[in-house]
Every structure is written in structure tokens, then in C-alpha cells.
Amino acid sequence: EKGGYDSFMLKEIAEQPRAVADTLLGRVDAEGALTLDEVRIPVPELRAVEKVVVVACGTAFHAGLIAKYAIEHWTRVPCEVELASEFRYRDPILDRRSLVVAISQSGETMDTLMAVRHAREQGAKVLAICNTNGSTIPRESDAVLYTHAGPEVAVASTKAFLTQLVACYLVALYLGQARGTTWGDEIRAVIRDLAGIPDALERLLATMEPVRALARSLAGQDTVLFLGRHVGYPVALEGALKLKELAYMHAEGFAAGELKHGPIALVERDLPVVVVVPSPRGRSVLHGKIVSNIQEIRARGARTVVIAEEGDEAVVPYADHLVRIPAVPTLLQPLVATVPLQVFACELATARGNEVDQPRNLAKSVTVE
């Protein structure tokens, strides 16, 4: 049932182009417009939303962190993202004009469920983004947008994460459409970009052999750091989480701009540092800053693993290892940038003799607080 792959995780990584395509299916009409009628929140209520709060755990939380950039960009509504396990214990400020988006692959995560219940008690509207039909979180929410990743067997989340991102982009556009902050042409353009992602992922997946070889060569390391900026920051957090849970290594993700505020003290000779580089096109200011960060850590002896867009030549002199990803619009970059990090963690775990589908101490769905 692993379809010829060594693990479910590898199989599910390979299924991502299809999972993304399926999650878009039926949500776009023949004219390229968004049709999210299944989200049964009336337009006047969407217009009245004054803030969006995303709650989730683990990898789904990282999807939420990325969603914030998309939601604020396309709707101009303030968006907070909070770990579900922290949310309800700090008496969050919610009312009828709050839209809570709960992201959960399983739909059964107790922390996220409790956050949903708390939000509804305060009168907030809750929209679930979920992969499991009929599970508890969507049943207890006001509305649901299902991701169509298909069943995810490996404990570490891969294809569910990518489809959560797609769902978050769709929600952001939908809200922007309802509120008049995003126009038809822009929405159609983003939808076209999203529709191109499955092909981009296929091309990317065909180039992962060097990433696997690199991972095997790092199996004896104790620590790996991950740096990113803007939407690349949550990608760095996700890369680090995957490595912790699968390879049982010390791994940390940082916002690259924070380096000089502390983490750079960790950099020493031969320390592998994975850097997710923003596109040099859109936000070139950030690109230049991250190139300086790469120079700084390399000057201190770090072994740099640079994840950069095809055609980005500025990073070449500072990359000990260069991983190319397809050029896509900035906000969508996590859909491609995460994939090499998934492969990296999976291969490193295997090289260390770990069971990748069933990491120690972890369960696929965490139904206790």
C-alpha cells in the first residue's frame, strides 16, 4: 500500500502535486472566479469581520502563520495566529465580528477543538480548515473548507500542510472578494498561479536526489538551524519541526532578521544552516538582506544550505549547497520551499536509522490536551 515507496511519508510527499490540484478542484469556476459556496458564512457577515484569529497546533500552526500574510495582504483585516493550546487560557478578546479559522488535518486535535468551543462561546464565527470528513472540529464549527489531501498515514504532516496552505489562500481571497479589497482580475491571477503549482511541484520533486544525498552526509550532525524571512520564516519553523520529530536532532527555525539579536552566537564551524531565500523579484529588499545574512553566517564557518528560486544568481557565491525551487509569486513560495525540507528531514531520519512513519513518542492525532 506504500505504492513502491520506502515509507508512507515519501509516498505522501510525492502525492503533493495531486493533493494541491484536488484542493483547488471545484473551487474555481470556468471563468477562473472563486466559488466557495460551501463556506456558508453570509457575505454581510464576512464584510462585518473586524479581525481574524487563526488557531492550530504544530504543522497546521505553521500554515496559519503563513495564512496571516495572505489574509492581511488580500483583506486588510488584522489577523492573529495563535497556538491552540495557548489561546483559550489567556481569555482572548473575541466577539461576533471575529472570524476564527481553525486548521486541523485530523479534525480531532483536542487543543484545537477546545479553542473552537471557546471561540464559539464568545460569539465568534468559526471556519474550520480540515482534511478529515465528518470529524469533530468541522462538526462543531460554523463552516468548513475541506482540504482534499486524501488520508495522511505518516505521522509527520506533508501533503496536508500544502493543502492547508492552498485552503488558506482561498479563504483569504474569498474574504477579500466579499469585502471588496481584492478584485476579480487579481483573484483570477492568483488562481492561475495556484493552478500552476502542481506542475511546479512535479518538476521540483524530480530534482530531489541531491537533497537526499546532502541529508545523508549530515546524519552525524547534532544541530541544524533554519533561517527564513517573511513567509519563509514559518517555512524555516516547519523545516526545523520536521527534523526534530523525524531525525530526533536539535533543530531550530529563526527569523533571519533576528540573527544578530542572539542566534548568531550559535554559529560555529561546520554547523549546517538552511536558509530559505525570498524571491529576488517581488520583495528585493528582503532578498538583499537575507543574502547579507548568508554571508555573515558563512564568514563564521557555517555550512550553508541555500533554498533559492531558479535564476537567483546572487546567492551562488555563498551557497555550500544550493537547492533550486521554481519561481512562484512571493506569497505562494511556501508551497514549493517546504518540499525540499520535507525530503531532507525524511532522508536524514532514515540515514539515522529512524522509523519515519512512526516517530517515537508521537501520535497521528493528539486527542488529549
Which chain residues interact with ligand F6R by CB under 6 A? 57-60, 104-106, 109, 112, 156-157, 241, 245, 365-366
Shortest spacing between CB 88 and ligand F6R, in angstroms: 15
Is 350 in contact with 6 (CB distance < 8 Å)? yes
Comparing CB distances to ligand F6R, the nearer of 132 and 177 is: 132
Shortest spacing between CB 132 and ligand F6R, in angstroms: 8
Shortest spacing between CB 111 and ligand F6R, in angstroms: 8
Give the active site residues: 364
Is 359 in contact with 246 (CB distance < 8 Å)? yes
- The residue sitting closest to ligand F6R, measured at its beta carbon, is 58
Shortest spacing between CB 3 and ligand F6R, in angstroms: 21
Comparing CB distances to ligand F6R, the nearer of 62 and 287 is: 62
Comparing CB distances to ligand F6R, the nearer of 156 and 178 is: 156
Comparing CB distances to ligand F6R, the nearer of 104 and 141 is: 104
Shortest spacing between CB 105 and ligand F6R, in angstroms: 3
Comparing CB distances to ligand F6R, the nearer of 22 and 245 is: 245
